Amino acid sequence: MSTLEINGQDADKTTFIPLAGDDGVWLYRTRDAQDLVDLVTNPYAFVSRINVRPAPGAPLRPANLLDNFVISVDVATSTRGNLDAAATYVIDGIDHTGFISVKMATAGGRFQFKSRFDYDAIEQKILDQNLEFVIAEAGERAFVHLHLGYDAELRAALLCAAIENQEWLCSLYNKLDLHLLDSEGNKVGMRRIKFKLPGARSDTPSLIAAPHLEVIVQGDRSTMDSVDACNAGSGVLIQDEFYMGMFVIKAYEPIPPMGG
């Protein structure tokens, strides 16, 4: 798809679609990796750059993102053999809601998301802290949980890695001590498994057939700074291989001050 049209109107950059009086969809189409960096770093600042016109003849105003937000990023790895190809993708949301979606709009290419993190240093930091990493099995489904604590850098680095450096993320998980939980949440032993991404190829020309990883970011206005956070993931467990399908960064509410 080389162009994006909404009912015959070009949506090359930003488009606002008034579906209903209280449901207006905004779309932002781009190939600039910095847009994705800005979005996951501070979604409130990013959304404020989107102009919407909620009613015919009404003045333009910044789009509104509610105090609690969820960002869903569908990370496809279709490259058509060119790892350097930059993908076109669409960021969209509904005005006055807390939901934002990011999806690739063209077959071929990657997000080309480039963060500032030194992943070797981040890996060593995580290994040195001996963070708790647990897994719970449910048939061929499995769920993992890595507690990140109050270190905002770790939260941001793992989020960026899920988009730009999934191989490093799998390698990190493979190095952590993985504790097996029972149905009541008690540790009942250790489990050694191999973390992988779903799909055997990354050069397929079809986004439908390409490997995908769904990345979810949950937070609110107060979580732009350092707050307690964790990383949760789910996938398919086949024997000793865990194929990740979803990667979640969750930020907890700040602890209220003493006496508050």
Q: What's the mean pLDDT in 35-43?
A: 83
Local confidence band at 198 (pLDDT 50, 70, 90 cut-offs): low
Q: Which residues lie closer than 8 Å to 34 by C-beta, 6 or more apart?
A: none
Q: Are residues 192 and 148 in the same domain?
A: yes
241 and 143, same domain (yes or no): yes
d(CA 209, CA 2): 19
The answer to whether residues 58 and 134 belong to one domain is no
pLDDT at 132 over 70: yes
Is residue 35 a part of any domain in this protein?
Answer: yes
**258 belongs to a structural domain:** no
**Is the CB of residue 100 less than 8 Å from the CB of residue 70?**
yes
User: 105 pLDDT exceeds 80?
Assistant: no
pLDDT bracket for residue 3 (50, 70, 90): very low
CA distance 59 to 34: 28
pTM for the structure as a whole: 0.77
Read off the pLDDT band of 18 (50, 70, 90). confident
Based on the domain organization, do 240 and 124 belong to the same domain? yes
Q: Are residues 223 and 124 in the same domain?
A: yes
Is residue 124 domain-shared with residue 243, that is, in the same domain?
yes
Mean pLDDT of 60-82: 79
Residue 213 domain flag: yes
Q: Which of 104, 129, 156 is the last residue before a domain boundary?
A: 104
Band (pLDDT 50/70/90 cuts) for residue 235 is confident
Place of tokens 């994705």: 36
The verdict on 145 and 90 lying in the same domain is no
**What confidence score (pLDDT) does residue 122 get?**
94
Q: What is the structure's pLDDT at 88?
A: 78
Q: Is residue 52 part of a domain?
A: yes
Mean of per-residue pLDDT scores for the chain: 79
CB burial of 154-178 (b: ≥16 within 10 Å; e: otherwise) equals bbbbbbbbbbbbbebbbebbeebeb
Residue 139 in contact with residue 110, Cβ under 8 Å? Answer: no
Q: Is residue 256 part of a domain?
A: no
Residue 126 resides in a domain: yes
Question: How many CB atoms sit inside 10 A of residue 152's CB?
Answer: 16
Statement to judge: residues 56 and 130 lie in one domain: no
CA–CA distance from 78 to each of 46, 163, 202, 229 (Å)? 26, 13, 5, 31
| Placement of tokens 């960021």 in the chain | 91
Whether residues 124 and 215 share a domain: the answer is: yes
- Binned at pLDDT 50, 70 and 90, residue 100 comes out as very high
Pairing mode, strands 133-138 and 179-181: parallel
pLDDT tops 50 at residue 2? no
Report, as an integer, the average pLDDT of 12-35: 78
In a domain, 260, yes or no: no
- Whether 125 and 247 map to the same domain: the answer is yes
Domain extent, residue 32, equals 5-104
Query: How many helices (H) and strands (E) would you count in the chain?
Result: 5, 17
pLDDT digits (tens, 9 = 90+) for 149-175: 878 788 888 888 888 788 899 999 999
On whether both 97 and 165 belong to a single domain, the answer is no
Residue 128 and residue 53 share a domain = no
- Domain termination residue (choose one: 81, 104, 127): 104
Of 77, 104, 131, the residue that ends a domain is 104
Rounded Cα distance between 246 and 57, Å, is: 42
Are residues 131 and 176 in contact, defined by beta-carbon separation less than 8 angstroms? yes
pLDDT of residue 30: 85
Mean pLDDT over 209-216 rounds to 72
Total domains, the chain? 2
Question: According to the model, what pLDDT value does residue 33 have?
Answer: 76
Q: Are 215 and 202 in contact, with CB atoms under 8 Å apart?
A: no
Query: Do the domain assignments include residue 259?
Result: no
